[in-house]
Structure 1
Amino acid sequence: MNSLKLPDNAVLIPIDLQQAFDAAPWPPRWNDRVDENGLALLAAWRSAKRPIIHVRHDSVEEGSTLRPERPGNAFRPGFGPKGEEPLVTKSVNAAFIGTDLDLRLRRLGADTVVLFGISTDMCVSTSVRVGANMGYRVILVEDACDCFDLADGAGGVISARDIHRAHIATLRAEFASVVTTGELLAALGGAAAA
């Protein structure tokens, strides 16, 4: 997508890049480059001095590995806020529900958000849909997302890769512009040079 234009106030929003997702009870994931791609996005965004708002899931469910007092709640290595980058915590799937994310974006004058994280079909997808419905231009970085194998309810399992593909297709059809990490970094570089 060579025509991708990034306004100066586009906000990068990493979603739920937390340690819990690497261990039981979470099922297998598919994208072994999710951390590499996500860290590349953060580094480039910081280098360009563009706004970042981090999102972390603080579960209120008993026994959840994402509860604030559990080790799995912590960010994956290299993720999480640096300096004065803000953190929004949520306890539901959408980063906009029950948080001040919308207010923060409006105070920045942002109309474009760039999302990535875990998991494609749950918190990322829900945040994309809600953000689009609230009037934001949403850009989704597909290869900086990951999700899990999922039971199909009939004794089988749908592979994480297939779940990811289906959700990306749906989001692309109606809710977001979908790009790769390379495409976004190229657009960011072009915007910096302009």
Structure 2
Amino acid sequence: MSNWKTAFRSFYYETADNPENIVLSRSHTALLVIDIQNTYLEPDSDPREAARWQPFYDRMNTIVIPNNARLLEWARGEGIEVMFARIACQTQDGRDRSLSQKKPGFNYLLLPKDGDDSQIVPQLSPQGDEIVVTKTTDSALTGTNLRLILRNIGITDIIVSGIFTDQCVSSTVRSLADESFGVVVVHDACAAATDELHEKELEIINMIYCHVVGMDELPGLLAPQSSAWPTDPGS
């Protein structure tokens, strides 16, 4: 049966030995939820485009958002630092955006920081003093003071979830790895525009920049202590 040690192997790691066990310290680990914002759940006004994106909307509403809600509940219960990243510009006309967000096409993003479109979806709202970094870049590390925040708090390992797997998630993961943070990506709490893009990007980044794990494997990576998922009230 496939597990995080054997799944999502690219050509580079097809024959590599299995990695060592991951042990995450609660006090030195953060959960970073990336870019799950209202704008990405709004169907396109063009019916053809809306239909083309319907599998993405379905994955977001039935898998990614519910799984991130579980992740947040679990992390908060375990005392793991919870953080969010979102795309938002400081100006109304977006003149402070990076070049990639000014280019025509899908990546053209004009999301003023106070607009409803730029807010994190209500199901995953930050609580208390949980940190939200605002970026106009793909990488949450490159375009913010997140690096300083993580160092100040004493974080060494980051659990990453969110969208899009092949864009902002991947860029953030690579930046974190280059800064020598340990990174774990939760594959069933992420999405790309298509499942094919999602899975291919996970293969590309796995074992080089991060380790890709499933939701149900994550509690077992914590240093010994009670780490079971919260009990489902409906069970």
- Structure 1-normalised TM-score? 0.85
Equivalent residue number for residue 151 of structure 1: none
- Aligned counterpart for 2:74 among listed residues 18, 24, 44: 44
2:224 and 2:40 map into 1 onto residues whose CA distance is 34
Q: Is 1:83–2:134 an aligned residue pair?
A: no
Question: 2:178 is aligned with what amino acid?
Answer: N
1:183 and 1:66 map into 2 onto residues whose CA distance is 35
3-state secondary structure, aligned to 1:162? helix
Moved more, 85-94 or 62-71: 62-71
- Aligned counterpart for 1:193 among listed residues 226, 231, 234: 226
Equivalent residue number for residue 178 of structure 1: 212
Q: Is 1:22–2:38 an aligned residue pair?
A: no
2:40 and 2:110 map into 1 onto residues whose CA distance is 8
Deviation at 1:17, TM superposition (A): 1.1
Aligned length: 182
| Contiguous gaps of at least 5 residues in structure 2 | 6-20, 45-49, 95-100, 103-107, 228-235
Deviation at 1:191, TM superposition (A): 3.6
Maintained 8 Å contact 2:69/2:123: yes
Describe the superposition over 1:31-80 as per-residue Cα deviations: whole angstroms up to 9, x where unpaired. 23001111111000001122112111114357836332432212112213
3-state secondary structure, aligned to 2:190? strand
- Seen in structure 2, the aligned counterparts of structure 1 residues 77 and 137 have a Cα distance that, compared at 3 Å, is same
Equivalent residue number for residue 157 of structure 1: none
- Aligned counterpart for 2:30 among listed residues 2, 5, 11: 11
Tell me the percent identity. 26
- Seen in structure 2, the aligned counterparts of structure 1 residues 36 and 186 have a Cα distance that, compared at 3 Å, is farther
- Structure 2-normalised TM-score? 0.71
Maintained 8 Å contact 1:48/1:192: no
Moved more, 58-67 or 100-109: 58-67
| Contiguous gaps of at least 5 residues in structure 1 | 149-159
Runs (4+) of structure 1 exceeding 4 A deviation are none
Moved more, 30-39 or 88-97: 30-39
Maintained 8 Å contact 1:115/1:138: yes
Equivalent residue number for residue 114 of structure 1: 159
1:110 and 1:99 map into 2 onto residues whose CA distance is 16
Larger radius of gyration: 2
1:77-156 equivalent positions in 2, closer than 5 A: 77-148=122-193
1:167 and 1:67 map into 2 onto residues whose CA distance is 29
Aligned-residue CA RMSD in angstroms? 2.2
